[in-house]
Amino acid sequence: MKTSHQFKNLSSLTGISATNAEQITRNPDQSGVITLDVMTLRLFTKRVASTKPPSHVLVAVIESPGKAPVASLVAKVYDDFAENIKALPPAEFLLRFAEQFGYDMKLGNETRRLFLGERLVVNKPPPPDVLVTGEGMWLLFDFKAGKIPGSQLYSVSVLLGLAVDPVRYGDYVRGRGRLPS
């Protein structure tokens, strides 16, 4: 399985390798699919009892026609992360992860920590899929944008938009489950 730069950065914090992620995609506890235009986001979650303390892992894989699937996100959390975390649907797991460890982002008139499977109209599209390490954040943004005919506006289809605070998340992972306040 191919991996993105963002996956590699998060993998270095979580200790979840591409091989581990691929195993999770083959045998998840739960999975979910979000399709937007021609892009597909597959989310997989798995409880890993072999870690101390036990952890819960989310893997996000992006598929586009004619391209190999790419593991774009891996996140590891512990039991304190959410009540009954094993029962959370993968999209809810991702939303809670973004709320806890994400930064607010603005796209058009919308400001939030997670953009997931939606179309927005904006004055200017965001830059292409890039890894941003300045300002202490990692930006994961997979989208397609096109100018609206007869208009100065752009239609942006955002499959996944998330800015992760690596310091806050790293402290949590290294602390083995003590949520920052």
Q: For the segment 118-160, what is each residue's pLDDT rounded down to a tens digit?
A: 888 888 776 654 433 334 455 566 677 788 999 998 888 888 8
Domain that holds residue 44: 2-174
In a domain, 42, yes or no: yes
Give residue-wise pLDDT tens across range 68-82: 898 988 999 988 888
Q: Which of 26-30, 53-57, 156-160 shows the lowest per-residue confidence on average (mean pLDDT)?
A: 156-160
In a domain, 107, yes or no: yes
Residues present in the chain in total: 181
In a domain, 67, yes or no: yes
In a domain, 179, yes or no: no
Query: How many domains are contained in the chain?
Result: 1
CA distance 62 to 17: 17
In a domain, 180, yes or no: no
In a domain, 69, yes or no: yes
- pTM summary value: 0.85
CA distance 148 to 4: 29
Residue 106: Cβ within 10 Å count:
10
In a domain, 43, yes or no: yes
Locate 141 and state its tokens: 């943004």
In a domain, 8, yes or no: yes
